[in-house]
Structure 1
Amino acid sequence: MPTRSGSARYEGLGKDGKGWVSTQSHALSQQPYGFGTRFENEPGTNPEELIAAAHASCFTMALSFALAGAGYSDGALETSAKVTVEKDGEGFTITKSALDLRAKVPGISPEEFEKIAREAKKNCPVSKVLNAEMTLSHTLEG
């Protein structure tokens, strides 16, 4: 499996600093981030939303492959993730990643779907790296 990378640059310090984040694939290229994008509503990104996007995409792909492995060949999956950040004694900690899934998989029972989805949540690589509480809610559409 290839190694993937990202990079960040921050100029200035604290609230006065400004940063830029990029990914190897150039999906993000010099995307701005800083205090204003993290704690206020300035345009740009922040580490927590990047983790949320990574978790949602990783889980969705893991579930897609798990469903295919169980013999299903058609369907649609859409996942959002909400990452919770809380202040602790040392600074801040990501304490939760809540996945919310909407799925349409013809022919699957709700019980089988839930079992496969829970295993995908447990086994996707981003779930494994996060040390936070993780929840999953889902809607299986007819």
Structure 2
Amino acid sequence: MGKHASVHWTGAGKDGRGEISTETGQLDKAPYGFATRFGDDKLGTNPEELLGAAHAACLTMAFSFAAKAAGFDTETVDTHADVRLAKDGDGFVIDRIQLTLKAKVPGLSAEQFQALANGAKQNCPLSKALASVPEITLQAELL
């Protein structure tokens, strides 16, 4: 099983502009560039925003599947990811991802919820892929 995405870039450095497209077509030439990544341009996207969306989506699914495997049906799960890009010498590094998961799961105790949420964080494929990020935190709230 595999998925793909592609990027087309024109221009050099800060003056360049890119377009991101995905296999499903949900992103089709979505613009990105220096201003959407390091500035306040909200007319495009950036790699950190996409990474955060992917990590939040992965964690959400992993939690819902883990709850189902434990015999509980999730009613709602909302996950937010904050990805921090920090200066590192002459370049940059993603040094922190803060995840917040809020879920409504009837019959699930607070203790079971925390165990399932932490297990989902450890076992979702994106968490595993991002293991080199020094700090990945999870704040989980049972509604």
The amino acid across from 1:95 in the alignment is D
Query: What is the CA RMSD across the aligned residues, in angstroms?
Result: 0.9
Give yes or no for the alignment of 1:88 onto 2:88: yes
Offset of residue 90 of structure 1 = 4.1
Offset of residue 125 of structure 1 = 0.4
Q: TM-score, normalised by structure 1?
A: 0.96
CA distance in 2 between counterparts of 1:135 and 1:85 reads 15
- Correspondence for 1:140: 142
Which stretch has the larger CA shift, 97-106 or 49-58? 97-106
CA distance in 2 between counterparts of 1:112 and 1:74 reads 13
Q: Do 2:80 and 2:101's aligned partners in 1 also have CA atoms closer than 8 Å?
A: yes
Q: Which runs of 5+ in 2 are unaligned?
A: none
Deviations 1:15-45 (A, max 9, x none): 1101000111111000000001111122100
Matches within 5 A, 1:1-142: 2-42=1-41, 43-130=43-130, 131-132=132-133, 133-141=135-143
Q: Report the 3-state secondary structure (helix = DSSP H, G, I; strand = E; otherwise coil) of the residue aligned with 2:64.
A: helix
The amino acid across from 2:69 in the alignment is G
Offset of residue 9 of structure 1 = 1.1
Percent identity reads 49
Deviations 1:110-129 (A, max 9, x none): 00100010000000000001
CA distance in 2 between counterparts of 1:116 and 1:73 reads 13
Deviations 1:91-125 (A, max 9, x none): 00011111111111111110010001000000000
Q: Report the 3-state secondary structure (helix = DSSP H, G, I; strand = E; otherwise coil) of the residue aligned with 2:51.
A: helix
Q: Do 2:19 and 2:32's aligned partners in 1 also have CA atoms closer than 8 Å?
A: yes
Q: Report the 3-state secondary structure (helix = DSSP H, G, I; strand = E; otherwise coil) of the residue aligned with 1:52.
A: helix
Q: Which runs of 5+ in 1 are unaligned?
A: none
